[in-house]
Amino acid sequence: MPTISGLTLDRRSFLVGSTSLAAALSLPRESAGAIAPPKEFTLSAAPGRVPLVGPPYPETDVWSYDGSVPGPEIRVRQGERLRIAVNNRLSQGTTIHWHGVRVPNAMDGVPHLTQEPIRAGDNFVYEFDVPDAGTYWYHPHHHSAEQVGRGLSGALIVEETEPLQVDRDLVWVLGDWRLARDASIVGDFGNRMEATMAGRIGNTVTINGRVPNTIRVRSGERLRLRLINAAPARIFGLEFAGHRPLIVALDGQPIEPHEPPGGRVVLGPAMRADLVLDMTREPGATTAVIDSFYRDRAYRLVDFAYTDEPRLRDHPLDAPSRMRANTMPEPDLDNAERHIATLEGGMSGRGIMGMGGMMGMGGMGWSINGVSAIGHNMRPMLSLARGRSYILSVRNETAWHHPVHLHGHSFRVIARNGKPTRYREWLDTVLVPPREQADIAFVADNPGDWMFHCHILDHQDGGMMAVIRVA
């Protein structure tokens, strides 16, 4: 087990790595199911108050969907049609983006590109089919660093027609907040300095909108754990001490079941992982889930507390963990056209740790292929022919990690740093470490103008975004 050098996260000390933090602070698709009437939902974006940290701390003023953080879980079945009426009761415009779902372009929720922002007091109705099963999420795409940072996000679960056989299906929406001592949100959004680095990482991590204490489990049970990283900037690296999680899907898409390298599940902002987790410890045991992504700032996220009930079964459940693939078209690699997307900008490598006096050095903005998309620069970086296969090499020439998201499509990660990937995973958001390269391949089959951007929301605001046109 790793050493826990950060603070234990509980109700009495909810500041994660507060010392280093203090330092930082001083600085249209047709579907077979389309005949059935759509499933109707409503979401009202509005200010609310929720017990993020819990007593004795006061409740936290947030922006929420339907008064809850995260917003209500939307759960439908593969192939269904959704109609979601959104009412904006915030004091500013908003939109909703259905992250990872291959929606028609007009339903993608990108302000000034696919729709005008839903003005304060107005409504907008999203309607689309869900072609693929899996774990997705929804969030605003307008002023998203602040709107997501204040609590607007929720899970969107599309059930398989033949679901995995497990005892319980748990969804963990992972949130990250910057809270003051009275548990209120610190309003320093848009800090330019931290935007040039790792982004606005908070000091309080929540699971489903609460600082978690323990999760009760039963010895012998099998969990399907759907992890959703809804944080604006924090990357998670979760270790399940004493357990052997199997990754069975990434970004909603089934993958050959495998244990993550080093037993650690790494999730950049917006990424999801579905795990199969056999609770193999004895009744009464307590084990920790540790987040060790940032070196020297590991902390205990939550404990699994085994109940005293007798073991549910003596051997792990004998059921397959492999799921049926979704419906993505297979890219034709032999005839694919190649392009490069080079990520640049941010604080340069020199002197990152000693931030004092670094303001003037290096570029402050972020860019893709030399263009920093500030304001409404929506001219396409690439124009792709509908139905053709493409390989895009995403080159990170910065000193920071970037989770890069393409709208409207899922892509296979076929190579990293020139070497073929083992699982050729389908993703919609690929985490590219500093000075590394990921080659992604996809069929440009969904017409429209699609965002391609870093999902560290301060990086996106700082210009690390572009438009890819499919026509």
Residues that bind Cu ion (CB under 5 A): 402, 454, 456, 459
Indicate which single residue of 179, 270, 328, 341 sits in contact with ligand C2O (rule: CB under 6 A): 270
Q: How far is the CB of 237 from ligand C2O (least distance, A)?
A: 20
Indicate which single residue of 48, 71, 95, 97 sits in contact with ligand C2O (rule: CB under 6 A): 97
Q: How far is the CB of 449 from ligand C2O (least distance, A)?
A: 12
> Which of Cu ion, ligand C2O, none has residue 243 at its interface (CB below 5 to 8 Å by kind)?
none
Q: How far is the CB of 286 from Cu ion (least distance, A)?
A: 36
Percent composition of the chain: helix, strand, coil (DSSP 3-state, to 5) = 10, 40, 50
Size of the site for ligand C2O (CB under 6 A): 10
Give the strands of the sheet with 168-177, arranged side by side.
Answer: 204-207, 168-177, 222-229, 272-278, 246-250, 253-258
With tokens 């056999």, the residue in question is 278
Query: Does residue 453 bind ligand C2O (CB under 6 A)?
Result: yes
**DSSP character for 329?**
P
Query: Does residue 281 bind ligand C2O (CB under 6 A)?
Result: no
From CA 54, how far away is CA 145, in angstroms rounded? 24
Instruction: Quote the tokens at residue 404.
Output: 């890069």
Buried b (16+ CB within 10 A) or exposed e, 249-270: bbbbbbbebeebeeebbbbbbb
**Segment interacting with ligand C2O, rule: CB under 6 A, options 314-322, 323-331, 380-388, 447-455:** 447-455
Q: Residue 179 or residue 270: which is nearer to ligand C2O going by CB? A: 270
Of 412, 414, 394, residue with least CA distance to 464: 394
Beta-bridge partner residues of 471: none
Instruction: Quote the tokens at residue 40.
Output: 């109707």
Residue 168: Cβ within 10 Å count? 13
> Which of Cu ion, ligand C2O, none has residue 211 at its interface (CB below 5 to 8 Å by kind)?
none
Buried b (16+ CB within 10 A) or exposed e, 273-307: bbbbbbbbbeeebebbbbbbbbeebbbbbbbbebe
Identify whether the C-beta of residue 218 lies closer than 8 Å to the C-beta of residue 312.
Answer: yes
> Which of ligand C2O, Cu ion, none has residue 470 at its interface (CB below 5 to 8 Å by kind)?
none
Q: How far is the CB of 99 from ligand C2O (least distance, A)?
A: 4
Residue 122: Cβ within 10 Å count? 14
Of 438, 455, 336, residue with least CA distance to 397: 438
Query: Does residue 323 bind ligand C2O (CB under 6 A)?
Result: no
Buried b (16+ CB within 10 A) or exposed e, 331-345: beeeebeeeebebbb
With tokens 């899970």, the residue in question is 155
From CA 141, how far away is CA 99, in angstroms rounded? 10
Q: How far is the CB of 445 from ligand C2O (least distance, A)?
A: 19
Residue at 39: amino acid letter: K
Q: Residue 209 or residue 463: which is nearer to Cu ion going by CB? A: 463
Site for ligand C2O in 111-140 (CB under 6 A): 139
**Segment interacting with ligand C2O, rule: CB under 6 A, options 1-9, 211-219, 321-329, 448-456:** 448-456
> Which of ligand C2O, Cu ion, none has residue 99 at its interface (CB below 5 to 8 Å by kind)?
ligand C2O
Beta-bridge partner residues of 467: 451
> Which of ligand C2O, Cu ion, none has residue 456 at its interface (CB below 5 to 8 Å by kind)?
Cu ion
Q: Residue 200 or residue 453: which is nearer to ligand C2O going by CB? A: 453
> Which of Cu ion, ligand C2O, none has residue 382 at its interface (CB below 5 to 8 Å by kind)?
none
Q: Is the peptide bond before 163 cis (omega within 30 degrees of 0)?
A: no
Q: How far is the CB of 162 from Cu ion (least distance, A)?
A: 37
Three-state secondary structure call for residue 20 = helix
Query: Does residue 402 bind ligand C2O (CB under 6 A)?
Result: no
> Which of Cu ion, ligand C2O, none has residue 402 at its interface (CB below 5 to 8 Å by kind)?
Cu ion
Q: Residue 248 or residue 466: which is nearer to ligand C2O going by CB? A: 466
- Residue window 403-442: x/- pattern of binding to ligand C2O, with contact defined by CB under 6 A: --x-x-----------------------------------
> Which of ligand C2O, Cu ion, none has residue 451 at its interface (CB below 5 to 8 Å by kind)?
ligand C2O
> Which of ligand C2O, Cu ion, none has residue 275 at its interface (CB below 5 to 8 Å by kind)?
none
Residues that bind ligand C2O (CB under 6 A): 97, 99, 139, 141, 270, 405, 407, 451, 453, 455
